[in-house]
Amino acid sequence: MAYSSSNRIDSASRVIAASPKTIYQAFMDPAALSSWLPPEGMSAHIDLLEPREGGAYKMTLTYESEHSNLGKTSENTDVSEGTFLELVPNTKIRLSVQFDSEDPTFSGEMIQTWYLEAVLEGTKVTIVCEHVPEGIRKEDHEEGLDSTLENLAQFIEK
């Protein structure tokens, strides 16, 4: 896989009132992951999840309402797949992400790294996306990352 031609990096972070282990486990369970990962206005279906280094994953995100942007794969879906590049229990999850799209502005490999850092209030979760495809608007992506972190906090803190 070739990296996206973009050198753009998008990121977001949030402190969540839970241990790094609890958050890490929420990433390893397909049912949990599909409930908190999709940004507001979307739902997810985990088609494949092999949470081990070198393991594959495939996910379909579906837009649930009228959305100003069309999906990357079809009118209302974004299908992404990739590989778990690095798993450091309770500390770091690093993935390759490739979108299933005929639009070349979404081609190439994006690297997404989740950092889990224990802090006094719980865990600081930071998502760093490298080589973000140029077809993804920066403001939309950052809003989506923030929404995902909000969902994770609600899922964990309930």
Cα separation of 24 and 115, whole Å? Answer: 10
Cα–Cα nearest to 62, from 34, 26, 83, 87 = 34
What sign results for the dihedral spanned by CA atoms 100, 102, 105, 109? positive
Query: What three-state secondary structure class fits 40?
Result: coil
pLDDT at 44: 86
Going residue by residue through the chain, which has 158 residues, state the pLDDT in tens, using 9 for 90 and above: 566 567 899 999 999 999 999 999 999 999 999 999 888 878 888 999 999 999 999 888 777 766 555 555 455 657 788 999 999 999 999 999 888 777 788 778 899 999 999 999 999 999 999 999 888 889 989 998 999 999 999 999 87
pLDDT at 102: 77
pLDDT at 158: 74
pLDDT at 122: 97
Per the structure block, which two tokens stand in for 40? 């507001």
pLDDT at 98: 84
